[in-house]
Amino acid sequence: MIRLHHVAFSRSFRILWLLEEMGLEAEIRHYGLTDGSLRAEEYRSISPAGRVPALEIDGITIHESGAIVEYLCETRPEHGLGRLPGDPERVPFLEWLGFAETQASILASLNMQHLFMGDPSPASPAVLRLEAARLASTLKPMEAVMKKRDWLLPSGFSAADTMMGFNLFSAPYFVDFARFGALRAHIARIEARPAYVRAREKDGVQQFYSKPFYPVPEEA
């Protein structure tokens, strides 16, 4: 039995997509970011900080998307989606897993300030502008890579690409992708993968973005 603890359109999509790429059947347990379901005592025993993803598999429970990706790649090497110790791409593979969280922490900050922080604590336009610029600066190196090849690693598609499965779909809400043509082509390649399409069908309804773009508000 494999069970994924999941919020639609969140970091847990990374794992949902990777499971599909590996052809692994999983039960999906859905949660919401604002309905208190991640704060329940029972869920705290699965994910101590009440975050998704968490994965129950092989009789154990794992939280942290990077750790889950590594575990799945190491225990299911037959799918060739990891770059295991000894592989010449091991270091860039690990770097991309970490980079995904560098980028996602900025996305989380933008999500928090644009979507979840209302009055009496309005977000600061100066901070929002800085965070959007910081996000763009993490997209630039990805754009440079995608001008050279189809996937993050030279040898082809890997679980490093699925780690970006939340980031690349959230970033366009805050940064205009008109200047990132190679990344737009990359997103189109992702969307053409049958496993990605299956994962999106299981993802659930995205509940936080209510408009297509969140510009930096005017200074008061």
Please identify which residue in 5, 51, 83, 114 interacts with ligand GSH, judged by CB under 6 A: 51
Residues 92-111 that bind ligand GSH (CB under 6 A): 101
In the complex with ligand GSH, the residue whose CB is nearer, 65 or 162, is: 65
Please report how close the Cβ of residue 10 comes to ligand GSH at its closest, in angstroms: 4
Scanning 62-70, 84-92, 118-126, 137-145 for contacts with ligand GSH by CB under 6 A, the matching segment is 62-70
Bridge partner residues of 6 (DSSP): 30
Calculate helix-pair angle for 90-111, 65-75, nearest 10 degrees: 150
Query: Phi, psi at residue 32, to the nearest 5°?
Result: -120, 155
SS3 102: helix
164 binds ligand GSH (CB under 6 A): no
Query: Phi, psi at residue 61, to the nearest 5°?
Result: -120, 135
In the complex with ligand GSH, the residue whose CB is nearer, 52 or 81, is: 52
Residue whose entry in the numeric block shows the structure tokens 């209510």: 210
In the complex with ligand GSH, the residue whose CB is nearer, 124 or 207, is: 207
SS3 77: helix
Please report how close the Cβ of residue 32 comes to ligand GSH at its closest, in angstroms: 10
Please report how close the Cβ of residue 5 comes to ligand GSH at its closest, in angstroms: 9
State the burial class of residue 12 (Cβ atoms within 10 Å of its Cβ: 0-12, 13-18, 19+).
buried
Scanning 59-67, 129-137, 142-150, 187-195 for contacts with ligand GSH by CB under 6 A, the matching segment is 59-67
11 binds ligand GSH (CB under 6 A): yes
CB atoms within 10 A of CB 43: 19
In the complex with ligand GSH, the residue whose CB is nearer, 8 or 145, is: 8
Distance CA 79, CA 89 (A): 16
Residues 37 and 47: beta-carbon distance below 8 Å: no
Please identify which residue in 19, 22, 26, 52 interacts with ligand GSH, judged by CB under 6 A: 52
In the complex with ligand GSH, the residue whose CB is nearer, 38 or 128, is: 38
Provide the sign of the torsion angle of the four alpha carbons 198, 204, 209, 212, taken in this order.
Answer: positive
Please identify which residue in 16, 33, 55, 145 interacts with ligand GSH, judged by CB under 6 A: 33
In the complex with ligand GSH, the residue whose CB is nearer, 28 or 182, is: 28
Lookup: tokens for 54: 């968490």
Applying CB under 6 A, the residues found at the interface with ligand GSH are 7, 10-11, 33, 38, 50-53, 64-66, 101
